[in-house]
Chains A and B, each alone.
Chain A
Amino acid sequence: MAVADFAVTIATFIVIYSLFGLGLNVKFGFTGLIDFGHVAYFMIGAYVTVVLTMPASTAAYRGLGGFALPEFLSAIPGGSLIGWLLGLAGGMLAAALVSLFVGIPTLRLREDYLAITALGVATILNAVVHNEHWLFNGPFGIRDIHQPLATAFPLSPGTFLVSLAIFGIPSLAIFAYAGYKLWGVLEPVSLRTAGIATAGGLVFVAGFAAIAIDFGDLVLGAAGILLLVAGGYIARVAFQETDVPGAVAGLLAAELFIVWYFVAPLVQEGAFVLLRNTLFLYDPAAGPNGGLDYDRFLLVFGGALLVLAYYWVERTVNSPYGRVLRSIREDEDVPEALGKDTFRYKIQSLAFGSALAGAAGGLWATNIGFIDPSQFAATVTFFAFTAVIIGGTANNKGVILGTVVFWSINAGTRFLDDYFPSKYAIQLAAARLILIGVLLIVILYYRPEGILGEQDYPVRGIGGGTDD
C-alpha cells in the first residue's frame, strides 16, 4: 500500500473525529458542559443513519428497519444522495433528541454531576444496543451499510491525462495551500534555530533508521537509541533558544512529515510512488485511466461536511448567542443575574453538539462499512477530549489541529510497526498511548489552554467603527 492510501485513510479518520470534536467543543469548550457521554450521540447518529438508509430486508439482520430512503427517492434525479443526506439528518436529529432526554434532568445539576451522569447514560445506551438484539442486531452489528453514490466510483473521467489533471491539480493545490499556510507559521523562527532543530530532527531520524535496519542487532539498536536521545537533545537546544516554541514544533512536525511522505518512499520505492503520493487524490489503480476511488471520495465529501460544520459552529459562537454560552462556562450565576435563561442555552448547546456528533457517526458508518456496539466505547469520548485539550479548548481550529496531532500519533505511527519485530506489537500499541499521555501532560503543564489557546470572537457583519 502506498503511503498515499494510508494517508487518505488517516485523513478520513481525522475529518470524522474533527467533526466529532467540534461537537464536543460546542458543549465543553464554549459552554463548559463536561459531557463524558459524547460517544453516545456518535453511536446514535451512526445507527440511525444506517437504519434509515439500508435496504429493507437484508440477510443476517434481525433489527429494526431498514427504511431504504435512498431507494425510495431514487426515482427523482439525485434522489439517492438526497435520501442518504436525509438519513444523515435523521441521525443528527435522533442524536439531538436523545441528548434532550439526557439533558433535561441532568443539566439542572452542577457540572461534575453532569459528567458522571452522562458517562452512565452513554454506557447504558451502549449496553442496550449490545443486548437488545431486536433493536439494531446487538453484537452482530450491521454489515449492509448504504454507501452514497458508491456506484459512480471509481470515477474516471476522460482519458488518462484528463483524469490525472482533474484530480492531480487539486492535490497539488492542497499541498501548495498547506505549504503557504505553514510558511506563515514558521516565519518567526530564525534561520539558526531552524538549523539546529532540523539537525536534531535528522539525527533523530538517523537513530530511527538504525533501529529499523535491525533492532535485534545490539550495536545498531544501541546506536539507534543513542541517536534518538541525541536528536532529542539537539532539538531541545532549539526550543530553549526561541520564543516561538509552537513554530519550532510545527517545523519539526513538517520535516518529519516530509521525510515520511516524500523522502522515504522515494528512497525505498522510487519516483513513481513519489508522484502517487504527491497527486494523492489521483489513484492510478481506480478505473481504466485511473481516477478517484471511493475512499478518496469519502475524504473529499467528509472534508466538505467538516468545512460546513466548522463555519456553522463559528457562526454560532461569534455572536451574542455565543457570548451567553461562554458566560455560562465562566460563571453561570452571572448570566442568570442578567436575565438569561441559562437552562435553555445549555439544552440547545447540548443538542447542537450532539447533532454534530451524530453527523460524525453517520459518516463513520459509511466509511467503515460495518458497525457494532464495540466501536462506540467510552474511550472514544476521551480521545476527543484529549484532542480538544491538546489543540485548544474553545478553539475550532485547535480542535482540528488537536485531532491531527492525536491521530498522527495514534494511527499515523502504525506503519512503524513494520520496522519492529512483531513480538513487540503490544508494547508499540502501549507506547503510542504513553506518548499521547506524555504529550497531554506536557500541554496541561506548560500550556493548559492548548496549542492554539482560546479563539477570538469577532461578531461579523455589524459594520466597522463599533468594535474599535
Chain B
Amino acid sequence: MTDDAPGVPDESVDPVLSVRGLEKRFGGITALDGVDLEIAPGITGLIGPNGAGKTTFFNCVTGYLEPDAGTVEFGGVDVTNEGPAAKAQQGLVRTFQIPRELPEMTVRENLLLAPQQQSGETLRSTWLRGDAFVTDERRVRGDAREMAEFLELDHLLDDPAGSLSGGQRKLLELARVLLTDPDLVLLDEPLAGVNPTLETKILDRIHDLQERGLSFLFVEHDIDVIMEHCDTVVVMHRGDVLTRGDPEDVRTDERVIEAYLGGDTE
C-alpha cells in the first residue's frame, strides 16, 4: 500500500471497478476529494464515519451525480459519463440507502421491473404480442416468484409495495437489483432493519452469488458483519480513501481506529 493511493492494491488482479481521481463538490463542501479505488472481484466492504462520502461515492459511480473530475471504469470500459440506466444495463447496479419502492405498484410488479432486455418493454412488441413477449413475460414472472420466495416476500406479491414494513422494503430493494442479473452490486446498508435470521440468509445468498461470479461493494455499519463476510475492506474518511486491505489489517490500523472504530474494538 502506498500512501498517495491507499485505495489501489499492489497486486495486479483485474479490477471490476476502477475509480481514478474522483472529485465531487457541493458548493464549498468537498464530498469526494480525489478518490482512487479499485474494487477486485469478490465482496468488498465500505466503511467510514457518517459524512465520509460513501453515499456520494455511490451516486457518482452509478451515474446519479456527475463527478467534477475523475474517471470511472467498469469492466475495463470508461463509463464516467454514462447515466444510471446505461450502467445498469452493463451490470453495475445499486440499492438506495432509504428504500425506493414503487408504492402504488404491487410487490410483484416492483420485481418484474428488474430483469433486463424484456421483449415486452418495447412499444412494438407490446402492440404486436409475438412469441418473445409471451416467453419473456413467463420467464421473468418465474424468476420474480423464485426471488420473492427466497427473500420471504412471496406471500406479499399482490400487495402494494407501499404497505410493506421497513425491513421488507429493504428486501424488495435487494431482490430488485439481484433480478437485474448484475456483475457488480453496490449495496447501501442492505441489512439495516432486517431481522437477524434473514440477515444470515441474505449474507449466505451474497456468498452464493459471489461464487457464481458476482461482486459486491457494500456499505455497512455493523463491523462484525464486515469483518466476517468481506474479502476486502475499504475505509473512507473525509472524502478520501483512508486505507484498504484485509479485514484484520484494517481492524488494527491505528488511523481507522481513530477515525471510525473508536478505542475499543475487541
Interface residues of A (CB under 8 A from B): 312, 315-316, 319-324, 326-327, 330-331, 333-342, 348, 352, 454, 457, 459, 461-463, 466-467
3 cross-chain pairs, A with B, having the tightest CB-CB distances, nearest first: A339-B88, A320-B120, A330-B102
Task: Please indicate the chain A residues that have their CB under 8 angstroms from the CB of B26 in the complex.
Answer: none
Contacts of A341 in B (CB 8 A): 85-86
Complex Cα distance A319/B133, Å? 9
Q: State the B residues within 8 Å of A (CB).
A: 62, 64, 83-86, 88-89, 93-94, 96, 100, 102-105, 109, 112-114, 116, 118-123, 125-127, 129, 133-134, 136-138, 140-142, 176-177, 180
Q: Which residues of B contact A323 (CB under 8 A)?
A: 105, 109, 112-113, 121
Complex contact B120–A461 (CB within 8 A): no
Q: Which residues of A contact B125 (CB under 8 A)?
A: 321
Complex interface: chain A residues within 8 A of B116 (CB): 339
Complex CA–CA separation, A337 to B61 (angstroms): 12
B88 and A338 within 8 A (CB): yes
Q: Which residues of A contact B89 (CB under 8 A)?
A: 339
Contact of B102 among A319, A326, A340, A467 (CB under 8 A): A326
- Cβ A316 vs Cβ B126 within 8 A: yes
A444 CB, nearest partner CB in chain B, Å: 17
A333 touching B100, Cβ below 8 Å: yes
Q: List 20 A-B contacts (CB under 8 A).
A: A315-B129, A320-B119, A321-B121, A323-B105, A323-B109, A326-B102, A327-B105, A327-B113, A333-B64, A333-B100, A334-B102, A334-B176, A335-B85, A337-B85, A338-B93, A338-B177, A338-B180, A348-B123, A462-B138, A467-B141
- Measured in the bound complex, the distance between the Cα atoms of B136 and A336 in whole Å is 20
| Contact yes or no, A338 B137, CB < 8 A | no
Q: Looking at the assembled complex, report how far the CB atom of A132 sits from the nearest CB atom of chain B, in whole angstroms.
A: 34
Kindly state the separation between the CA atoms of A25 and B125 in the bound complex, as whole angstroms. Answer: 21
Q: Which residues of B contact A454 (CB under 8 A)?
A: 104
Q: Which residue of A lies closest to B92 (CB)?
A: A339
Task: Choose from B64, B84, B102, B129 the contact partner of A461 (Cβ within 8 Å).
Answer: B129
CB contact between A340 and one of B85, B112, B137 (< 8 Å): that residue? B85
- Which chain A residues lie closer than 8 Å to B180 at the CB level? 338-339
For A338, give the chain B residue with the smallest CB separation: B114
* Given A322-B126, A323-B105, A337-B84, 10 extra CB contacts under 8 A: A315-B126, A320-B126, A327-B102, A327-B113, A330-B104, A333-B64, A336-B84, A338-B176, A340-B113, A462-B134
Q: Contacts of A463 on B, CB cut-off 8 Å?
A: 134, 138
Please judge, given known A-B contacts A330-B105, A459-B137, whether A324 and B113 are in contact too, CB under 8 Å.
yes
| Smallest CB gap from A316: residue in B | B126
Smallest CB gap from B139: residue in A:
A466
User: Which one, B93, B104, B127, B138, contacts A315 given CB within 8 A?
Assistant: B127
Interface SS majority for chain A: helix
| A334-B102, A466-B142 as given contacts; A319 in contact with B120, CB under 8 Å | yes
Bound CA–CA A316/B177 (angstroms) = 25
Interchain CB contact (< 8 A) of B93 among A327, A337, A461, A466? A337
Which residue of B64, B83, B123, B180 has the most chain A CB atoms within 10 A of its CB atom? B123
Q: Is the CB of B113 within 8 A of A316?
A: no
Q: Which residues of A contact B137 (CB under 8 A)?
A: 320, 459, 462, 466
Q: Is the CB of B85 within 8 A of A339?
A: yes
Residues on the B chain within 8 Å of A338, using CB: 88, 93, 113-114, 176-177, 180
CA distance A421 to B85 in the complex (A): 64
Which of A315, A334, A340 contacts B121 (CB under 8 A)? Answer: A340
Q: Which residues of A contact B103 (CB under 8 A)?
A: 330
Give the residues in chain B near A330, CB-CB below 8 Å: 102-105
State whether A337 touches B113 (Cβ < 8 A).
Answer: no
Decide: A334 and B83 in contact? CB cutoff 8 A.
Answer: no
Given A319-B126, A457-B109, does the pair A334, B120 have CB atoms closer than 8 Å?
no
Shortest Cβ distance from A321 into chain B, in angstroms? 4
Q: Which residues of A contact B105 (CB under 8 A)?
A: 323, 326-327, 330
Closest residue to B64 on the A side, CB-wise? A333
With A and B bound together, what is the CA distance between A324 and B102 in angstroms? 11
Q: Which residues of the other chain, A, contact B113 by a CB distance below 8 angstroms?
A: 323-324, 327, 334-335, 338, 340
Query: How many whole Å from B183's CB to the nearest CB in chain A?
Result: 12
Are A320 and B121 in touch, CB under 8 angstroms?
A: yes
A336 CB contacts on chain B under 8 angstroms: 83-85, 88
Q: Which residue of B lies closest to A352 (CB)?
A: B123
A99 CA to B88 CA, complexed, in Å: 29
- In whole angstroms, how far apart are the Cα atoms of A335 and B110 in the complex? 10
How far, in angstroms, from A215 to B149 measured CA to CA in the complex? Answer: 69
A466 to B139, CA, bound (A): 9
Q: Cβ of A327: which chain B residues have Cβ within 8 Å of it?
A: 102, 105, 113
A405 to chain B, nearest CB (A): 23
Report how far A445 CA is from B183 CA in the complex, Å: 47
B100 lies within 8 A of A321 (CB): no
When distances are taken between beta carbons in the complex, the residues of chain B under 8 Å from A315 are 126-127, 129
Q: How far is the CB of B118 from chain A (nearest CB, A)?
A: 5
Q: Nearest-CB distance from A195 to chain B (Å)?
A: 37
CA distance A362 to B94 in the complex (A): 47
- In the complex formed, the residue of B with least CB distance to A330 is B102
Cα(A348)–Cα(B114), bound, Å = 20
- Within the complex, the shortest CB–CB distance from B155 to chain A, in Å, comes to 12
Please state if B112 and A339 are interface contacts (CB–CB under 8 Å).
Answer: no
Cβ 8 A contact of A320, one of B88, B118, B176: B118
A320 to B109, CA, bound (A): 9
Q: A47 CA to B49 CA in the complex, in Å?
A: 63
